[in-house]
Amino acid sequence: MPMRLELRGVLKALAAPLLPSAAMLVAILVAILGSMPAVAAAAFDLTQLTQLLASKRAGEATFVETREVSVLDRTVTTSGRLSFEAPDTFVRENLKPLRERVAVVGNTLTMSRGERSRSVALDSVPEAAVIIEAIRGTLTGNRDALQRVFDTSVAGNAEHWTLDLVPREARLRTQVSSVRVTGRRAEVREMQVVMPDGDRSTMTIEPIAAAATSGSGPAR
């Protein structure tokens, strides 16, 4: 009997220092287990969103855009096609009611209407660049470009996400108040632009089930 007692005593003595470690171990396990759902639920953040978007290297879509402008007596609706190609190409072609084309490749913005065509350097017209960067940056999943120009916030998850963009520079906020982009998985579905005087434009985008190969947009 005394031997068992001593054994218990020895075990207790041995176990005493272990007890805190065990507690730590348990605590760690709980933390790991506990945080896993947290990881799953937490920040579907800009990094993940842009990675998701960038996985689609090229694409084509049709769009319908409605604009509410205070000075006009009714909303204006345009429709057409748009296409993009990583890393920095974006083309928007209005088909109705007027044929117009805006193409951005790198730093060059080309606007064509009928036979008239003008090219300018995008960085020399920052007011126009705001919208272009919002669209192009989102479609091509360019995180650096988006973060450079906008304060970003992402909500939702990979299935259904919302990206809010607000221009960082006060000067540019006088042109565009905010842009809200919503989409599903790697596809952008809607873009809403709100301007400081209350005018807004909403573009609904319907991706065309494109061929897997990247590259073919409308001719540049």
CA atoms of 18 and 110, how far apart (whole Å): 72
Quote the least distance from Cβ 98 to other proteins, whole Å: 6
Q: CA 191 → CA 29, 64, 116, distances in Å?
A: 44, 11, 28
Judged by CB under 8 A, which of 11, 120, 208, 211 binds other proteins? Answer: 120
Q: Which helix (H) or strand (E) holds 49?
A: helix 46-54
In terms of CB distance, is 57 or 200 closer to other proteins? 200
Tell whether residue 106 is a contact of other proteins (CB under 8 A).
Answer: no
- Collect all residues with Cβ–Cβ distance below 8 Å to 189 and sequence separation of at least 6: 182, 183, 204, 205
Show contacts with other proteins in window 181-200 (CB under 8 A).
Answer: 193, 195, 197, 199-200
Judged by CB under 8 A, which of 32, 71, 209, 219 binds other proteins? Answer: 71
Quote the least distance from Cβ 43 to other proteins, whole Å: 30
CA atoms of 96 and 165, how far apart (whole Å): 28
Tell whether residue 55 is a contact of other proteins (CB under 8 A).
Answer: no
Other beta carbons within 10 angstroms of residue 37's beta carbon come to: 9
Tell whether residue 108 is a contact of other proteins (CB under 8 A).
Answer: no
Show contacts with other proteins in window 126-155 (CB under 8 A).
Answer: 126-128, 130-131
Write out the two tokens for 3: 């031997």
Tell whether residue 169 is a contact of other proteins (CB under 8 A).
Answer: yes
Quote the least distance from Cβ 176 to other proteins, whole Å: 6
In terms of CB distance, is 185 or 200 closer to other proteins? 200
Show contacts with other proteins in window 199-218 (CB under 8 A).
Answer: 199-201
Quote the least distance from Cβ 77 to other proteins, whole Å: 10
DSSP symbol at 134? H
In terms of CB distance, is 52 or 111 closer to other proteins? 111
Sheet with 76-85, edge to edge strand ranges: 116-121, 108-113, 100-105, 89-96, 76-85, 58-68, 200-207, 187-194, 178-184, 161-167, 150-156
Write out the two tokens for 39: 């990881």
Phi, psi of 60 (to 5 degrees): -135, 150
Write out the residues near other proteins by the rule CB under 8 A: 67-69, 71-74, 76, 78, 94, 97-98, 100, 113, 115-121, 123-128, 130-131, 169, 171, 175-176, 193, 195, 197, 199-201
